Amino acid sequence: MRDLFEPSGDQEVLHEPLGEGAVLLRGFAAARSATLLAAIDSIADAAPFRRMITPGGFEMSVAMTNCGTAGWVTDRKGYRYTTHDPDSGKPWPRLPREFLDLAEAAAVAAGFPGFLPDACLVNRYEPGARLSLHQDRDEADYGHPIVSVSLGLPATFQFGGPKRSDPVKKVALRHGDVVVWGGASRLFHHGVLTLKDGEHPSTGRRRFNLTMRKAL
Ligand code: MD6
Ligand code: FE
């Protein structure tokens, strides 16, 4: 199944279904990547990337920060959304207009009109970083999709099923790719394999991932 459409201007984008309600929009954010990366720099100036601690006491290999009315955090007390950055006590930086516009456009392209995120988790991977299989279930209403944007070095994404032990499909996510994920597979397990070393013209030895959510 191959479905072509126009995201903006004359750029062609490939629609790849990943599962029920999950679609990969190849290159959807490529034309806006410089703006997105500049916004990530501003967010990190106000709320620096940090490696959070899991409830089990492990330091995550992925460094994280947030913007929006709510931000996702983990520490010894558990996983949750907070309105303030626990490191500074300040509210998370605002969700930039460019993030909101992209999230809405990608959601429309994937068949989820009217998506308005209030939270964006920003992940930063350096070579060796990985994200083990997990579900995103700290949001109040699973009826909303999640819009995920990959920037910089490519990574292998694992897309599993409702059980942690379900087989996973491996998908390469590259600079500018967007995944919109809702519907029946909203609670499916997923993860990111260990980032391989490399050099990307826009981000150097790094991968960034934005996940925009309606958390509250
Ligand atoms: C990442 N993404 O790509 C991690 N979660 O770095 C996620 O964990 C994720 O891409 C929920 C929905 C989409 C995602
Ligand atoms: Fe996730």
The per-residue pLDDT for range 54-99, each reduced to its tens digit, is 999 999 999 999 999 999 999 999 999 999 999 999 999 999 999 9
- Work out the angle at residue 115's Cα, subtended by the Cα atoms of residues 114 and 120, and round it to the nearest 5 degrees: 160
Given a cut of 80, is residue 1 above it in pLDDT? no
Cα separation values, 7 from 2, 38, 94, 197, Å: 15, 21, 25, 31
Q: Determine which residue's CA is closest to atom 1 belonging to ligand 1.
A: 209
CA 146–ligand 2 middle distance (angstroms): 9
Confidence at residue 83, expressed as pLDDT on a 0 to 100 scale: 98
Residue to probe by mutation, ligand 1, list 148, 180, 195, most atoms within 8 Å of CB: 148
Which residues lie closer than 8 Å to 10 by C-beta, 6 or more apart? Answer: none
Mean pLDDT across 175-198: 96
Given a cut of 80, is residue 13 above it in pLDDT? no
- The dihedral sign for the CA sequence 40, 46, 48, 54: negative
Number of the ligand closest to the Cα of 64:
1
**Does the beta carbon of 131 lie inside 6 Å of ligand 1?**
yes
- The CATH class given to the 15-213 domain equals mainly beta
The per-residue pLDDT for range 106-149, each reduced to its tens digit, is 999 999 999 999 999 999 999 999 999 999 999 999 999 999 99
Rounded CA-CA distance 145/214 in Å is 8
**Does the beta carbon of 211 lie inside 6 Å of ligand 1?**
yes
Give kind and range of the element (H or E) at residue 41: helix 33-46
Specify burial of residue 142 (Cβ count, 10 A radius: 0-12, 13-18, 19+): middle
Q: Where are the domains of the chain?
A: 15-213
63-82 as b/e: b if 16+ CB within 10 A:
bbbbbbbbbbbbeeeeeebe
Place of tokens 């309105």: 83
Q: Determine which residue's CA is closest to atom 14 belonging to ligand 1.
A: 148
